[in-house]
A and B are shown apart, each in its own frame.
Chain A
Amino acid sequence: MFERKVLSRAAAAAAIAGLAAIVPAKAEDTVKVGLILPMTGGQASTGKQIENAIKLYMQQKGDTVAGKKIEIILKDDAAIPDKTKTAAQELIVNDKVNFIAGFGVTPAALAAAPLATQAKIPEVVMAAGTSIITERSPYIVRTSFTLAQSSTIIGDWAVKNGIKKVATLTSDYAPGNDALNFFKQNFTAGGGEVVEEVKTPLANPDFAPFLQRMKDAKPDAIFVFVPAGQGGNFMKQYAERGLDKAGIKVIGPGDVTDDDLLNNMGDAVLGTVTAHLYSAAHPSQMNKDFVAAYKKAFGNRPGFMAVSGYDGIHLIYEALKKTNGDTDGTKLVEAMKGQKWESPRGPISIDPETRDIVQNIYIRKVEKVDGELYNVEFATFEAVKDLGKTKK
């Protein structure tokens, strides 16, 4: 009796194992993309935008490429690096994904880097913006941006446009420090002077005292980098304290006037000049179509995170086309290098040497267009590479 039970169990196990052996045979025709994004937590808006953009892209372009069906497996890491690592492990080992993608914040992208190297699969970074990321694995390719790109450009622009004295207010974490250092480097090299430097804690409840300090330092402009979400509070308190009336402008990388939140910031934000990779008001026909389709599908306007996700999935599609459906990770990364295409943000390409994005950086000013606040582009720095890579 007992033996029979064991036998039947063994038979069942064998049957399951047999089934499992059949499934991968069928999976040959699908390409799996493990998407790791913050869908909950303070960075959730990043995750949602990227997810939306990918959905939109797949609706528009279909879910098959080079004879393979694309399957997206979404995991939420809440922007916590430990969770990113677990999610990446599960995706690689259990789901046998061919790509890992997403990564809302720098620590998340870094946590997955060794796994991408070990598993030899491409890691497509669609959000995180610290320069070092692409140096952490030869399998990392980025479609978002680096903070060095926009911060150096705004530094150059400021110094040429009559801004001589700047006070800086940046969040005290890696991207904030990147933004600050690259800005300072170019701004002071051009003859500008940083008269006041304040780093605010990441979880900062009230900007009042910092802003009062800025006001008393009487600079020509404040250079600001705060994480997505805090921009609105900053701008409101900036106006409340009358810094706009005191003639102190706001400049910075475009995170502070992210399209996602811009329209709710109130008129105080008018006139803010930022350097960034994307504005929903970018005047190309392709962008107009993109914005219209995104608005129709999800009810709000796409921000730079959405466009980074849109380009990220595009890059995956193009790489598969080039390898003719071959899912060997090394070949896919090779196929991604040097890709060039027209994105809603403008012409972009992947630098074959650094696997980082090369894109136009636009100088924009917040203006009212049809009753809504937009970043209106008025100057373009073409094909900007990341300047923050370690000097070799």
Chain B
Amino acid sequence: MIIKVHPLPMTSILTNLFDGVAYGMLLFVLACGLAVTLGLMNFVNLAHGAFAMAGGYVCMVLVNRMGWPFFAALPLAFVSSAAIGIVLERTLYRHLYTRSHLDQVLFTIGLTFMSVAAVDYIQGSSRVFINLPAALQGQFDLFGVGIGRYRLMIIVICGLLTIALQMVLAKTRFGSRLRAAVDDPRAASGLGINVPQVFAFTFAFGCGLAGLGGALSAEILGLDPYFPLKFMIYFLIVVTVGGSSSITGPFLASLLLGIGDVAGKYYVPKMGPFVIYTMMIVILIWRPNGLFGRTAAR
């Protein structure tokens, strides 16, 4: 066994930090829909990754097979996953809102397996890649720090999305309706808020975000029919660590886990894969409801 200690150049630290932030942002976009359904709607949706996969594959087909530009395909990945989300919400999910969590888990895990088999059947089981424009490939140097173009794009897109989400939730009428519907659905519907509609829209939006995340992650995490199963654990970690009562919680948790994961793999490669789990355990011992979970207030 060779254990070699590197001199730690400042630039490597910054490059790692940058990679970690990009990875964290990606996790956030993938998982924040789950935080919404789990935290706001109290619904355990283990099929969340399936919507991400759907978005990824839509983007792949549009770009690789039909020659769409990458940036035009991204919104469509969002729209198509959201559309699938709304159809399933209206036809299937709706009936399970009042059922026990075990029923929800069984239903959604079944849906996940069905999605895996369906994509495997239609697209084959091998990994697919999305052809990227040349402008997004490679790295450039910023004061000696290697910055990946693609990762930079992820940070920009995800950063803007997070700000927009926070604004919508905090400042708009829809945001206040949603918060009201979550806090007390009965009182909210008594005040004339169409609670099922608000939930359906929120669910679809969460699915759409997952779809966008799926399309963005193909390059970094790899896209194949087993995506929903492989990354389910990461989504759940983000939501448990972040707490599911707001979107700032999962956001900061994603960043923390992303940076921690990258740094762990770089500095202690032997321990690398366990860093993310160790962090989760430590945080949950310290704060069982997650970093920003609601404590016993309710």
Q: Which residues of B contact A239 (CB under 8 A)?
A: 137-138
Q: Is the beta-carbon distance between A197 and B1 smaller than 8 angstroms?
A: yes
Q: Is the beta-carbon distance between B219 and A236 smaller than 8 angstroms?
A: yes
**Known A44-B120, A205-B231: A229·B127 in contact at CB below 8 Å:** yes
Of B8-16, B37-45, B156-164, B189-197, the stretch lying at the interface with chain A is: B8-16
A-contact 0/1 string along B85-124, CB 8 Å cutoff: 0000000000000000000000000000000010010001
- B175 contacts A by Cβ under 8 Å: no
Bound Cα distance A195, B6 (Å): 11
**Known A216-B6, A216-B12, A232-B129: A240·B139 in contact at CB below 8 Å:** yes
Bound Cα distance A260, B125 (Å): 12
Find A261's partner among B6, B127, B139 (CB 8 Å cutoff): B127
**Known A199-B270, A241-B148, A242-B139: A212·B12 in contact at CB below 8 Å:** yes
- A24 contacts B by Cβ under 8 Å: no
Distance to closest chain A CB from B7 (angstroms): 9
What total of chain B residues lie within 8 Å of the partner, measured CB to CB? 43
Q: Is the beta-carbon distance between A194 and B12 smaller than 8 angstroms?
A: no
Q: Which residues of A contact B4 (CB under 8 A)?
A: 195-196, 217
A-contact 0/1 string along B31-75, CB 8 Å cutoff: 000000000000000000000000000000000000000000000
With CB as the reference atom, state the residue of chain A lying closest to B8. Answer: A216
Q: Is the beta-carbon distance between B2 and A240 smaller than 8 angstroms?
A: no
**Known A41-B226, A45-B126, A209-B262: A240·B269 in contact at CB below 8 Å:** no
A-contact 0/1 string along B224-257, CB 8 Å cutoff: 1010001100100000000000000000000000
Bound Cα distance A240, B219 (Å): 10
- A70 contacts B by Cβ under 8 Å: no
Bound Cα distance A358, B222 (Å): 35
Chain A 204-228 interface residues, beta-carbon cutoff 8 Å to B: 204-206, 208-210, 212-213, 216-217
With CB as the reference atom, state the residue of chain B lying closest to A210. Answer: B265
Q: Is the beta-carbon distance between B226 and A201 smaller than 8 angstroms?
A: no
Bound Cα distance A212, B219 (Å): 17
- A330 contacts B by Cβ under 8 Å: no
Bound Cα distance A198, B12 (Å): 17
Q: Is the beta-carbon distance between A209 and B129 smaller than 8 angstroms?
A: no
Bound Cα distance A41, B146 (Å): 36
- A64 contacts B by Cβ under 8 Å: no
Bound Cα distance A236, B137 (Å): 9
- B185 contacts A by Cβ under 8 Å: no
Q: Which residues of A contact B264 (CB under 8 A)?
A: 209
Chain A 1-45 interface residues, beta-carbon cutoff 8 Å to B: 40-42, 44-45
Q: Which residues of B contact A41 (CB under 8 A)?
A: 125, 226
Distance to closest chain A CB from B195 (angstroms): 37
Q: Is the beta-carbon distance between B2 and A196 smaller than 8 angstroms?
A: yes
- A203 contacts B by Cβ under 8 Å: yes
- A233 contacts B by Cβ under 8 Å: yes
- A185 contacts B by Cβ under 8 Å: no
Q: Which residues of B contact A217 (CB under 8 A)?
A: 4, 6
Bound Cα distance A42, B15 (Å): 32
Bound Cα distance A326, B2 (Å): 54
Most chain B CB within 10 A, of A42, A194, A232, A237, is at: A42
Q: Which residues of B contact A233 (CB under 8 A)?
A: 127, 220, 222
- B174 contacts A by Cβ under 8 Å: no
- A264 contacts B by Cβ under 8 Å: yes
- B23 contacts A by Cβ under 8 Å: yes
Q: Is the beta-carbon distance between A241 and B146 smaller than 8 angstroms?
A: yes
Q: Which residues of B contact A265 (CB under 8 A)?
A: 129
Most chain B CB within 10 A, of A199, A213, A265, is at: A213
Bound Cα distance A195, B120 (Å): 40
Q: Is the beta-carbon distance between B230 and A203 smaller than 8 angstroms?
A: yes
Q: Is the beta-carbon distance between A40 and B125 smaller than 8 angstroms?
A: yes
Bound Cα distance A65, B96 (Å): 58
Distance to closest chain B CB from A69 (angstroms): 31
**Known A209-B262, A212-B12: A194·B2 in contact at CB below 8 Å:** yes
Bound Cα distance A194, B1 (Å): 10
Most chain A CB within 10 A, of B230, B265, B266, is at: B265
- A257 contacts B by Cβ under 8 Å: no
B-contact 0/1 string along A158-177, CB 8 Å cutoff: 00000000000000000000
Q: Is the beta-carbon distance between A212 and B19 smaller than 8 angstroms?
A: yes
- Interface residues, chain B, CB within 8 Å of chain A? 1-2, 4, 6, 9, 12, 15-16, 19, 23, 117, 120, 124-129, 137-139, 146, 148, 150, 219-222, 224, 226, 230-231, 234, 261-266, 269-270, 272-273
A-B complex: 10 closest residue pairs judged by Cβ atoms:
A209-B265, A44-B125, A201-B273, A209-B266, A209-B262, A208-B19, A233-B222, A198-B269, A242-B139, A205-B221
A44-B126, A196-B4 given. 12 additional CB < 8 A pairs?
A: A45-B126, A195-B2, A208-B23, A208-B262, A209-B261, A209-B272, A216-B9, A230-B127, A240-B138, A240-B150, A241-B148, A260-B126
11 A-B pairs (CB sep. < 8 Å): A40-B125, A41-B226, A45-B125, A197-B1, A209-B263, A213-B266, A229-B224, A230-B222, A236-B129, A236-B219, A240-B137
